[in-house]
Chain A
Amino acid sequence: MTDAQQFEVFLRNYQNMVFSTAMRLLANQTEAEDITQEVFLRAYERFADLCDSPTAGGWLKTVATNLSLNHLSRYRARWSFFSELFSSNQPDEELEVQFPAQADPDALLAADRRELLDQALRKLPPSRRVPLVLYHLEGLRYEEIAEKLGVSLGKVKTDIFRGREALRRILRLQIGDDEP
């Protein structure tokens, strides 16, 4: 198998993982595709080390995460200040997702629930979505998230809590009897 064929196999094996990582952080398909392309261009430059490495998946995920966060800070910081102010005050009721007709959230099929959760995640403002994704999907600790995002530990905890609350309301989850 030639190097080009090996790289294509490598690309096909990991493209969904890299695309998902970028998509869940950015919530924008075009931007996620750009990041995926950049990740694999970097992978190509060190393919000799990566092709047989058992840590290739971890390397790709880390690069995808870092590039997505860089993208968010570089391209959105210029105009997002006011939109963030607006969206952080936006009530979660306005972030509704489209439930299937006659759907009782508890009775939905697992596939439908996952689709709804993905939709809900995409609808969250970046200030809530990004720390939530880094914590639950990327497995980072609060301190690591604070360091990566350059914000205080308290803000990370608050944003994650608000993100979870928003998801709970959007998805109409019933958690215990002692809701705040």
Chain B
Amino acid sequence: MKDYEQQLEEHLDRELKDLPELQAPPALVARILSAVSRRAARPWYRRSWQAWPVSLRAASLPILLAMFGVLCWTVSAFAHTVATAPATQKITGELAGLRLIWRTLSVLGDAAILTFRHLGPAVLAAVFIALLLTYAACVALGTLSLRLAMARADRTQL
């Protein structure tokens, strides 16, 4: 004999699966079609990349690759310049870049410790709070600007 839990599960499963689909409100189709036509009227640069015209999608790939190449070249050239400076002439080989990063981090760490000792925790806490508040203000202003811009864009589309 089935136990109580199993009977209840089977009974409710039957009843729930037997529920018919709910009727969507009659005005929903018109509302969705209107939203779709608004979305379709957006310029290409406000759509997702998949929805861009094929030619622009094709053009964007070499541009992105070129940007990536320029970035790599810049980083490499910068690292080379630093590596051949008089103060770091001894740093050679494959780990030169890593050593340089480690040395920079060490110097920054030492500077941070010295600053902490010199200023004391109260001043640093105040600076930290000020930074947090500035960050929060930037986020708030950014959100406000975005909402205003989007609201204006929506009104324009309407």
A22 to chain B, nearest CB (A): 9
Binary flags per residue of B1-23, CB closer than 8 Å to A gives 1, else 0: 00111011101110111111111
Residues of B within 8 A of A (CB): 3-5, 7-9, 11-13, 15-25, 28-29, 31-33, 35-36, 39-40, 47-48, 50-51
A164 CA / B22 CA spacing, docked (Å): 21
A-B contacts, 19 of them at CB < 8 A, read: A11-B29, A11-B33, A15-B28, A16-B22, A20-B21, A20-B22, A29-B25, A33-B28, A36-B28, A41-B32, A41-B35, A44-B39, A46-B50, A136-B17, A164-B9, A168-B8, A173-B11, A175-B4, A175-B8
Residues of A with C-beta under 8 A to B15: 113-114, 117
Residues of A with C-beta under 8 A to B3: 178
- On whether the beta carbons of B51 and A136 are closer than 8 Å, the reply is no
- On whether the beta carbons of B7 and A176 are closer than 8 Å, the reply is yes
With A36-B24, A36-B32, A40-B32 already in contact, the answer to whether A118 and B19 are too (CB < 8 A) is yes
Query: What is the predominant secondary structure among interface residues of chain B facing chain A?
Result: helix
- A23 contacts the other chain (CB 8 A): yes
Q: Which 6 A-B pairs have the closest CB atoms?
A: A19-B24, A136-B16, A16-B21, A20-B22, A15-B24, A20-B21
A137 CA / B18 CA spacing, docked (Å): 10
Residues of B with C-beta under 8 A to A46: 50
- On whether the beta carbons of B32 and A114 are closer than 8 Å, the reply is no
Q: Which of B17, B23, B32, B50 contacts A11 (CB 8 A)?
A: B32
Residues of A with C-beta under 8 A to B8: 164-165, 168, 173, 175
Q: Which of B13, B24, B36, B50 contacts A41 (CB 8 A)?
A: B36
- On whether the beta carbons of A8 and B29 are closer than 8 Å, the reply is yes
B158 to chain A, nearest CB (A): 16
A179 CA / B4 CA spacing, docked (Å): 7
- On whether the beta carbons of B48 and A37 are closer than 8 Å, the reply is no
- On whether the beta carbons of B9 and A37 are closer than 8 Å, the reply is no
A136 CA / B29 CA spacing, docked (Å): 28
A51 to chain B, nearest CB (A): 14
- On whether the beta carbons of A19 and B28 are closer than 8 Å, the reply is yes
A161 CA / B39 CA spacing, docked (Å): 43
Residues of A with C-beta under 8 A to B22: 16, 19-20, 23-24, 118
Best-surrounded residue of B24, B25, B47, B50 (most CB of chain A within 10 A): B24
A17 CA / B22 CA spacing, docked (Å): 7
A167 CA / B16 CA spacing, docked (Å): 11
- On whether the beta carbons of B28 and A178 are closer than 8 Å, the reply is no
Residues of B with C-beta under 8 A to A45: 39, 47-48, 50-51
